[in-house]
Amino acid sequence: MQIKTLIKYLEELAPPFLALEGDPTGLQLGSLKQEAANVVVALDFNREVMDEAIEQKANLVVTHHPFIFRPLKAVEPDSPTGSLICDAIKRDLTVYSLHTNLDVAEEGVSRRLADLLALNNQKVLKPTFTQSLFKIVVFVPLGYEDRVRNALAEAGAGWIGDYSHCTFNLEGKGTFKPLEGSNPFIGQQGKIEKVSEIRIETIVSEENLNKAISKMIKAHPYDEAAYDVYPLKNKGKIMGLGIIGDLPTEKSLAELGEEIKELLGVDGLKIAGFREKTIKKVAVCGGSGGRLIEKAVSEGADLFITGDIGYHQFQQGADLNIALMDPGHDATERVVVPFLADYLRERIKKGGHTHQIFISRVETSPWKLL
């Protein structure tokens, strides 16, 4: 298995088109064509993580943060970043980042935080992407409908909520006259045919549309499959930054703070608001979500949990009467690392491979509480 197969799995979880503008998500260095060895998953890539990867016989490091963030003007072995890049290349390492696409993805960073708090009625705090939906209608000769329907379902068409293979099927008469140069599956050249056909219609998201059409054409017995694609006004999944939801039971701010310290494994966190304030509706955003304070207020949150809240953002929270909690940038994001490792393990197992996935043990936070 080449590394690109592992990347394909990761991009199914966090498609690159979900990334926010200007984010250098994706391949950081190395080759996707290289045969995959073991994998290390980490929040950041640095020299210690590189050494760890070598020790674990890994040649792919998957991180959340891209370590080449701004365009480099030159790769100088005498600079810290340059020497790390040169050494990683000499060791045949590939580094791949899932950054804001993983923040926005349905099962991304904030979802992990929301699930950790067991929030009910979860919804996206600030939508950045709404899935476009299409209808595919295809006409299939009687007896071939299962084959075509299954091909569509395997390509992701006809998935609605917790249901797959959702189609509507109607029998009718199709007509056609094979012309010169045709290779008809049914009928003869120059003669109009009337054939019993099934009209299969199903729904598909824009990202699966091309795949569904090509699988459908492959499974269709005719040399020219007749099909239509209609854009729909139905709204697909909404994805974006942060999640808002309800705690299973109300708690005081101080009580919840103690619980979150335990859940996130931090020794301390910053809070703003009355310690006895009753908290029911909570908004969360992994990383630096301070810019979403107003959004959390407008959605009715009693508390907003995120990292990197600045002094003036804490003041803004007090003005807007919302409690704030900052456990740290990395503490709100590292919940995604074991999730990513488990996801890859599952996908690799399904593919019948035996590569090992390690969670980095390196503490990459650039600061600590004294």
Look up residue 204 and give its two tokens. 């598909």
174/290 with CB nearer Zn ion: 290
- Contact segment (CB under 5 A) with Zn ion among 54-62, 153-161, 286-294, 349-357 equals 286-294
- Say if CB 142 and CB 196 are below 8 A apart: yes
Measured from the CB of residue 113, what is the shortest distance to Zn ion in angstroms? Answer: 12
Measured from the CB of residue 269, what is the shortest distance to Zn ion in angstroms? Answer: 17
202/364 with CB nearer Zn ion: 364
Measured from the CB of residue 128, what is the shortest distance to Zn ion in angstroms? Answer: 16
Nearest partner of 370 among 271, 258, 267, judged by Cα: 267
Measured from the CB of residue 333, what is the shortest distance to Zn ion in angstroms? Answer: 5
The vertex-124 CA angle with 122 and 129, nearest 5°, equals 145
Look up residue 345 and give its two tokens. 């393990």
56/100 with CB nearer Zn ion: 100
Ranked by CB distance to Zn ion, the top (closest) residue is: 287
The span from the CA of 303 to the CA of 294, in Å, is 12
Measured from the CB of residue 15, what is the shortest distance to Zn ion in angstroms? Answer: 19
Q: Is 273 in the site for Zn ion (CB under 5 A)?
A: no
**For Zn ion, which residue of 273, 287, 290, 328 counts as binding (CB under 5 A)?**
287
- Contact segment (CB under 5 A) with Zn ion among 26-34, 158-166, 282-290, 362-370 equals 282-290
The span from the CA of 301 to the CA of 117, in Å, is 14
Number of Cβ within a 10 Å radius of residue 196: 11
Residues in region 305-364 near Zn ion by CB under 5 A:
333
- Contact segment (CB under 5 A) with Zn ion among 131-139, 155-163, 284-292, 297-305 equals 284-292
52/333 with CB nearer Zn ion: 333
287/290 with CB nearer Zn ion: 287
- Say if CB 116 and CB 259 are below 8 A apart: no
Measured from the CB of residue 118, what is the shortest distance to Zn ion in angstroms? Answer: 23
Residues touching Zn ion, count (CB under 5 A): 2
336: which DSSP letter? H
Measured from the CB of residue 145, what is the shortest distance to Zn ion in angstroms? Answer: 48
- Contact segment (CB under 5 A) with Zn ion among 155-163, 279-287, 337-345, 353-361 equals 279-287
- Contact segment (CB under 5 A) with Zn ion among 20-28, 48-56, 237-245, 287-295 equals 287-295
220/334 with CB nearer Zn ion: 334
Look up residue 347 and give its two tokens. 């996908």
279/285 with CB nearer Zn ion: 285
Four-CA torsion 72, 78, 80, 82, nearest 10 degrees: 40
Q: What is the DSSP string of 61-98?
A: EEESS-S--SPPS---TTSHHHHHHHHHHHTT-EEEE-
Q: Count Cβ atoms within 10 A of the Cβ of residue 366 and give its class: 0-12 exposed, 13-18 middle, 19 or more buried.
A: exposed
233/368 with CB nearer Zn ion: 368
174/287 with CB nearer Zn ion: 287
158: which DSSP letter? T
10/253 with CB nearer Zn ion: 10
Measured from the CB of residue 69, what is the shortest distance to Zn ion in angstroms? Answer: 11
Nearest partner of 273 among 247, 297, 303, 294, judged by Cα: 303
Measured from the CB of residue 44, what is the shortest distance to Zn ion in angstroms? Answer: 9
SS3 60: strand
Residue type, 1: M
Write down the H helix ranges in the chain.
3-13, 47-55, 80-90, 100-104, 109-116, 145-154, 206-219, 253-264, 293-298, 311-319, 329-333, 336-350
Measured from the CB of residue 104, what is the shortest distance to Zn ion in angstroms? Answer: 13
User: Interface residues with Zn ion (CB under 5 A)?
Assistant: 287, 333
